[in-house]
A and B are shown apart, each in its own frame.
Chain A
């Protein structure tokens, strides 16, 4: 069974700090990696879908990179704002699984 790990579990930063967190996944038979943002009392919202080794995606102050050979993806937030406070989830399609396997998430808190 595919295992997707995220670190750290939680992160507290000050407004204006830049931060990053990691998603690791089995690199064999990899198909795609998804990143979601989940704010409290809302639904998870898709950020990126990534498939190619070396891929880099950007959305405003948030960007993500993908290394499929070693099985990891980084999510970066530049100049964190309080509204970035959320749990960030990654999920991978791979192997014989025909569905997304989610990590437990990184909970980010940004203090004003």
Chain B
């Protein structure tokens, strides 16, 4: 079936280091969204990417949608302890219903 995988599953970094999570779909996506879930919290929408090759920035966060619209990445520059949480990508497959398929998530731990 349609799958959205994320790597790595876990990442531990020292505060100030950069972090990247990658999202890969088995099929072409129409668009992709990113969510952040803090420990003990609920997912919170971060951003949506629609166009092939699109790049968007939010302060220290950079989001990219691949040219083939089958992959995406989230890069955090100079991580802070407030970045701790699980990052999920979520996409709608191009020829399917409007279901949003969530990725497996990447859990980020930042050590001070």
The answer to whether A and B assemble together is: no
